[in-house]
Chains A and B, each alone.
Chain A
């Protein structure tokens, strides 16, 4: 229950200040729009000519698109980690960044669905998935859980937003009329009553619980797209947790980047403080250590035994054609950041931003290094086909489409963060209230 007082007034004013359409925002969106348009042209070319415009061929039949899909699903998981796992355990420092995590979850889960369409040979037959779905196929499980997770994340984003919308709708004279109307509709007649708070908090709590198994399912199932096959490098029993922990690394890095950007461009230094970066840095170290542990399991065990097929695969990764990418990803995306982030100075906002960008890029290439080398190593020899069939070289078109999907996710994040407050006003007001009461009691 929040009170209308100067605390709320101040917080609402500060948080609502960047909301609305500014010139810079429109400029930013047009910039993204141009890139998106270019990638749409690339997609049109792909639709016209077929997947022959990509670097994929009969042996490497999955490439960048699938790696990108895994990356998107992975990054979206952070919503569950921060709001649910940390939220349910009563960790309070996540309050100002919980919504940022949910925005990332919604944006990346939504675009993940589109990414997988970009990989389809016949996107016009998408409807077949719903008409003739085979429940035995991991793709059907994936479609189901991605849709479910997107819905749950959206609700988990929307429900705690309702009180803010109600608070904000009286304080948005600087915003266009349509936005005010949108607030009016979305605030579902919120009147700050105790009963409404009770219902909202209860619903959020239910969602926080339900989203945990769903999020585990979404990424475990995504890992099963690989682990359910007999292929070398994929035929692994730890793929579920391996992917899941990797997802937390990527998602946390994405949240740190978003935190930094919102903090500096929306002038929210008061709410997203160095303290939060420090905490996120520690969280990153934790997730990365767990991920490193799974990496060691995933590579060391087969490398010890050197079964014929595994040996060839590992040779390519460790010293062969993929060695540069493999070691770059492991070192820059995992080992070096772990070492650096152990030291406090590196957990300051700017170093955190730089490291998170490196980690996130590493996370993207990590997915590529999981998908492509395995496809290049089938059990039987590759013969009587041209060189382009044997090795995978991504083309400009597919890179463009991939960039387009990333731009799309950034656009969704930008829009959500620009139209609605990125920091929960009512929770901040509540916190401030508690603090002042605390002071009075002392």
Chain B
């Protein structure tokens, strides 16, 4: 009985462990390949990026010096890691999971491919497969524009995705658009990712309470998600759509901790009065000593 119990435990433990280590990449994502061929330049760029973003956990590839975490970060030059497809690499770096952070906001697709290029340089057997350019019919990169329109009443933001062709402007239907508000250190996603309708229009709900600058201005940026099809299409604008923010400086009020010019009045007053009073008295006493001296001197003169 006990034996069976232990066996069950062991199997369960093994299974759960296996499950913990299993990280399945969706088939369509695993098929993704780099849009460019890996070169010594891409490898060099990837090395710098690797050192800045990956090395602190994974260590140097091939050196087996990852930091001891649970689960341990694999050595990316190792056989296990190198048996991954390029697309699997790309997916894992982009999305992250658990302790492995997602890099989709901090690294561009090109950056990630450069890192993969660097990692592949540790694998002699690797043969690269390069993506064939997938393009939509009638679309030339660089001719696509995103135009903004603000509907003030309901704080809705509309964007129109247009393709400039020889016959004039044409709306693009079914293009996924992402909208961001620019913040000091990064881009804040606004609303969900939306697809354009037949007229190339897409509408985003802007949160009513998102702060803008002192006049409510917010720097916005829209982007087409499918870079493979459209290339990098971005558009920036500034709208007075945010909540006006004009908070006072944090060191404005009179306080104990502020500079002496902004000390609480009572303390300035008390201190000054106290010091002046006592030192006034001290000065008075000194004058009295002088008086004693003068009296004595007069007596001496009279005495003589």
A–B interface present (Cβ within 8 A): yes
Pair A189/B296 contact, Cβ less than 8 Å: yes
Closest to B277 in A: A210
Can you offer 11 A-B residue contacts whose CB atoms are under 8 A?
A: A135-B267, A148-B278, A152-B278, A162-B289, A189-B292, A191-B299, A191-B303, A193-B295, A195-B295, A196-B292, A200-B292
A200 to B271, CA, bound (A): 29
Task: Determine which of B260, B284, B296, B299 lies in contact with A135 in the assembled complex, contact meaning CB atoms within 8 Å.
Answer: B260
Q: Which residues of A contact B271 (CB under 8 A)?
A: 135, 141, 144
A354 close to B (CB within 8 Å): no
Distance in Å: Cβ of A209 to nearest Cβ of chain B: 9
Task: Determine which of B256, B281, B285 lies in contact with A136 in the assembled complex, contact meaning CB atoms within 8 Å.
Answer: B256
B300 close to A (CB within 8 Å): yes
Distance in Å: Cβ of B132 to nearest Cβ of chain A: 54
Contact with B along A178-220 (1 / 0, CB 8 A): 0000000000111101011001101100110010001000000
Pair B275/A144 contact, Cβ less than 8 Å: yes
A220-247 CB contacts (< 8 Å) to partner B: none
Task: Determine which of B264, B268, B288, B303 lies in contact with A199 in the assembled complex, contact meaning CB atoms within 8 Å.
Answer: B288
Task: Determine which of B279, B284, B285, B300 lies in contact with A191 in the assembled complex, contact meaning CB atoms within 8 Å.
Answer: B300
- Total number of residue pairs linking A and B with CB closer than 8 Å: 75
Q: Which residues of B contact A210 (CB under 8 A)?
A: 278, 281
A214 to B277, CA, bound (A): 11
Contact with A along B271-304 (1 / 0, CB 8 A): 1000100110110110011011111110110010
Q: Which residues of A contact B257 (CB under 8 A)?
A: 136
Pair B285/A203 contact, Cβ less than 8 Å: yes
For B256, B267, B295, which residue has the most chain A Cβ atoms within 10 angstroms?
B295
B246 close to A (CB within 8 Å): no
Residues of B at under 8 Å CB distance from A? 256-260, 263-264, 267-268, 271, 275, 278-279, 281-282, 284-285, 288-289, 291-297, 299-300, 303
Task: Determine which of A133, A136, A188, A214 lies in contact with B296 in the assembled complex, contact meaning CB atoms within 8 Å.
Answer: A188
A151 close to B (CB within 8 Å): yes
Pair A188/B292 contact, Cβ less than 8 Å: yes
Q: Which residues of B contact A202 (CB under 8 A)?
A: 288
A148 to B277, CA, bound (A): 11
Pair A190/B275 contact, Cβ less than 8 Å: no
Pair B281/A206 contact, Cβ less than 8 Å: yes
A64 to B270, CA, bound (A): 32
Closest to B264 in A: A136
A127-171 CB contacts (< 8 Å) to partner B: 133-136, 141, 144, 148, 151-152, 155, 159, 162
Distance in Å: Cβ of B52 to nearest Cβ of chain A: 26
A135 and B292 in contact (CB under 8 A), knowing A210-B278, A210-B281? no
Pair B285/A189 contact, Cβ less than 8 Å: no
DSSP class of B's interface residues: helix, strand, loop or mixed? helix
Pair A189/B260 contact, Cβ less than 8 Å: no
Q: Which residues of A contact B282 (CB under 8 A)?
A: 148, 151-152, 155
Distance in Å: Cβ of A79 to nearest Cβ of chain B: 16
Task: Determine which of A144, A148, A191 lies in contact with B295 in the assembled complex, contact meaning CB atoms within 8 Å.
Answer: A191
A210 to B282, CA, bound (A): 9
Pair A196/B275 contact, Cβ less than 8 Å: no
Pair B292/A190 contact, Cβ less than 8 Å: yes
Q: Which residues of B contact A190 (CB under 8 A)?
A: 292, 296
Distance in Å: Cβ of B228 to nearest Cβ of chain A: 48
Pair B291/A199 contact, Cβ less than 8 Å: yes
Distance in Å: Cβ of A345 to nearest Cβ of chain B: 44
Pair B285/A135 contact, Cβ less than 8 Å: no
Q: List 5 extra interface pairs beyond A193-B296, A210-B281, CB under 8 A.
A: A136-B267, A141-B271, A144-B275, A188-B289, A203-B285
A322-378 CB contacts (< 8 Å) to partner B: none
Pair A189/B279 contact, Cβ less than 8 Å: no
A189 and B278 in contact (CB under 8 A), knowing A135-B271, A199-B288? no
Pair B260/A134 contact, Cβ less than 8 Å: yes
A135 and B268 in contact (CB under 8 A), knowing A191-B299, A203-B285, A206-B281? yes
A133 and B281 in contact (CB under 8 A), knowing A141-B271, A189-B293, A189-B297? no
A152 to B259, CA, bound (A): 31
A384 to B296, CA, bound (A): 71
Distance in Å: Cβ of B274 to nearest Cβ of chain A: 8
Pair A136/B293 contact, Cβ less than 8 Å: no
Q: Which residues of B contact A200 (CB under 8 A)?
A: 288, 292
Closest to B278 in A: A148
Pair A148/B299 contact, Cβ less than 8 Å: no
Distance in Å: Cβ of B211 to nearest Cβ of chain A: 33
Q: Which residues of A contact B267 (CB under 8 A)?
A: 135-136
Distance in Å: Cβ of A88 to nearest Cβ of chain B: 16
Q: Which residues of A contact B284 (CB under 8 A)?
A: 206
A203 to B263, CA, bound (A): 35
Q: Which residues of A contact B294 (CB under 8 A)?
A: 189
Pair A136/B263 contact, Cβ less than 8 Å: yes
Q: Which residues of B contact A151 (CB under 8 A)?
A: 282
Identify the 6 closest CB pairs spanning chains A and B, nearest first: A189-B296, A188-B293, A191-B299, A191-B296, A203-B288, A136-B256
A136 to B261, CA, bound (A): 11
Distance in Å: Cβ of A224 to nearest Cβ of chain B: 13
Pair B285/A206 contact, Cβ less than 8 Å: yes
Closest to B288 in A: A203
